[in-house]
Chain A
Amino acid sequence: MANKQVLSPLPGTFYRKPAPDQPPYKKEGDPVAAGDTIGLVEVMKSFHEVKSDVAGKVVKFLVENEEAVTAGQPLLEIDG
């Protein structure tokens, strides 16, 4: 089955963790259900949760923690 991508809904800074001292929402190999939060995008000091619209398993992240992203940029691949 082809891998699916989760896209960033907004431009900004991508975070894999809810807070700097907490573990990431998802790691490679973790199962993902549709609606699960996979990260945050900070745009102009406001934080927006990014939710997966597909179910499956995380294959790999395409963007590092705290990296700049554009709207529509693929964030991770899910094996669905």
Chain B
Amino acid sequence: MTIDRLLVASRGEIAVRIIRAARELGIRTIQVYSQADADSLAVRLADQAVEIGPPAAARSYLNIEAILSAAQKTGADAVHPGYGFLAENADFAEAVETTGLVFVGPAPATIRLLGDKITAREIAAKAGVATVPGSTGRMDDPQSACAVAEDIGFPVLIKATAGGGGRGIRIANDRTELERLAPQASTEARAAFGDGGIYIEKLIPRARHIEVQVLGDGQRVVHCFERECSLQRRRQKVWEEAPAATLPEDVRQKLCDAAVALAQSIRYRSAGTLEFLYDDETGDFYFLEMNTRIQVEHPVTELVTGIDLVREMIRIARGEPLRLRQGDISLAGHAIECRINAEDPANGFMPAPGVVDDLIIPGGPGVRFDTMLYPGCTIPPFYDSLIGKLIVWDDSRASALHRLERALGELDVSGVKTTKSLHQALVLDDDVRNANVHTRFLEQWLERDRLPPT
């Protein structure tokens, strides 16, 4: 199997990242774009670009027919879905393969299997990997949900089986709340995901979000160690690190082994991420879900392992066996990524699309900035607010924090509001500096008004 012409079915910084990886492999790139992205950096950098529809994602980046027709028209032989949009849509992956093209990702059946949160929990259990205590299957009536909740203890989370990315999650502190919220959650899940199935999980207070990066070729799976992404707002990651600063070495080993065992049990192919909750009071970790795509925060792993994950993903897709054995992969230094969003932290993180007048991108030793910005570019209002990722590396976490502070100071995106000021406050915070954080830390920190006015 060869890939000569890769169609990039995504936008923004990840489209640019994919174009760069493809070009280094000698692969020509075809960028699809909506009318709102005609002047985007990805369109400028790609060898060829094809318009696929109006700005609304539903009519462009989510339009399977338009994307496949662009692929056929341009003679593409593979499709990279990036993240978001159709990246974890099994029907899309299947349609790509049916058309005779290579899907740069896992087998459609794998996406389907792991996309259902209940099936994913069952796979974990079979592979001997602990999941958060909760219901063993979907719950269709509130009565059985209550029985499970009383058994595992309140508070509990109500989640949608077809959900993901933190959407549709509610907290019930007692039986009365659960009885009220469970039917609501089910109705909402049916509207949002087309499936009203819900399940119950125990709420673990002060948990850390730790995830393991894996690469598989369909036969063999290796891990590229872990990332910690505990700093979140509305369940969206804001700041990510590799490795997890406070994880004891024996737990790191067990966690990475568990991730490999699970991915190996389904003969995973491509890059993937297994998300876990880690309770550092007990040392226990629990599998949450597996993301079957390249993730936003993949660069921190690249910087501490020296592996180009996007390049490896493309190599695997064209049928090459994994080039790495587990023993070849080691950790060096510490990396931190800050997500720079077009949002106003001083005004409730209100989205701030617009035109970038001027731009200074940080540089110097150990600094990487993945972005689609250029001076004069337009940030359209129709898509995600992520406009750049500032990633720093240094030989220790302490020096990486100094480097991050320095690099944030250099960054200047004028014309639009960004979350730079949030990161400048976080990098100076004692708890953040000591890695004394958990998944609800940032929201509580924001409630305490820790953000300086801009």
Mostly, the B contact residues are loop
CB contact under 8 A between A21 and B191, given known A11-B353, A68-B56: yes
- CB nearest neighbor in A for B385: A44
Which residues of B are found within 8 Å of A13, using beta-carbon distances?
Answer: 55-56, 381-382
Complex alpha-carbon distance, A21 and B187, angstroms: 12
Nearest 9 A-B pairs (CB), nearest first? A44-B351, A11-B381, A44-B385, A12-B381, A43-B381, A43-B351, A68-B55, A13-B56, A19-B191
Task: Give the docked Cα–Cα distance between A43 and B343 (Å).
Answer: 11
A44 to B57, CA, bound (A): 11
Residue of A nearest to B382 (CB): A13
A29–B343 Cα distance when bound, in Å, is: 37
Q: Specify which of A11, A45, A68 is in contact with B384 (CB 8 Å cutoff).
A: A45
Q: Which of the four size classes fits the interface of chain A?
A: 10 to 19
Interface string of A40-58 (1 = CB under 8 A from B): 0011111000000000000
Residues on A lying within 8 angstroms of B by beta carbon are: 10-13, 19, 21, 42-46, 66, 68
Residues from chain B with Cβ under 8 Å of A21 in the complex: 191
B→A interface (CB under 8 Å)? 36, 54-56, 58-59, 191, 342-343, 351, 353, 381-385
Partner of B351, one of A19, A46, A66, A68: A46
Q: Are A66 and B191 in contact (CB under 8 A)?
A: no
Report whether A68 and B385 are in contact in the complex, using a CB–CB cutoff of 8 Å. no
Assembled-state Cα–Cα distance A66/B191 (Å):
18
Residues of B within 8 A of A45 (CB): 383-385
Nearest Cβ on chain A to B40's Cβ, whole angstroms: 15
Partner of B54, one of A12, A46, A68: A68
Complex CA gap A80/B314 in Å reads 60
Residues from chain B with Cβ under 8 Å of A42 in the complex: 382
Structural contact, B342 and A44, CB atoms closer than 8 A: yes
Q: How many A-B residue pairs have CB under 8 A?
A: 38
Cβ–Cβ < 8 Å partners of B54 in chain A: 68
Whether A12 contacts B191 in the complex (CB less than 8 A), given A44-B351, A46-B351, A68-B54, comes out as no
A46 to B191, CA, bound (A): 17
In the complex formed, the residue of A with least CB distance to B343 is A44
Chain A residues within 8 Å of B59, by CB = 66
Rounded to whole Å, the gap between the CB of A35 and the closest CB of chain B is 21
User: Which residues of chain A are near B55, meaning CB under 8 Å?
Assistant: 13, 68
Q: Are A43 and B353 in contact (CB under 8 A)?
A: yes
23 cross-chain CB contacts under 8 A:
A11-B353, A12-B353, A12-B381, A12-B382, A13-B56, A13-B381, A13-B382, A19-B191, A43-B353, A44-B342, A44-B343, A44-B351, A44-B383, A44-B384, A44-B385, A45-B383, A45-B384, A45-B385, A46-B351, A66-B58, A66-B59, A68-B36, A68-B55
A69 to B: closest C-beta gap in Å: 9
How distant is the Cα of A25 from the Cα of B191 in the complex, in angstroms? 17
CB < 8 Å neighbour of A44 from B36, B56, B353:
B353
Residues of B within 8 A of A46 (CB): 351
A57 to B385, CA, bound (A): 36
* Nearest CB on A from B381, distance (A): 4
Contact of B56 among A10, A43, A66 (CB under 8 A): A66
A46 to B54, CA, bound (A): 19
Q: Which residues of A contact B383 (CB under 8 A)?
A: 44-45
Q: Taking CB as reference atom, which chain A residue is nearest B383?
A: A44
Cα A21 to Cα B382 in complex, Å, equals 21
* Bound-complex Cα distance A45 to B54 (A): 16
CA gap between A12 and B354 in the complex, in Å: 11
- Cα distance A46–B383 in the bound complex, in angstroms: 10
Q: How far is the CA of A19 from the CA of B353 in the complex (A)?
A: 24
Report A-chain residues with C-beta under 8 Å of the C-beta of B58: 66
Chain B minimum-CB-distance residue to A46:
B351
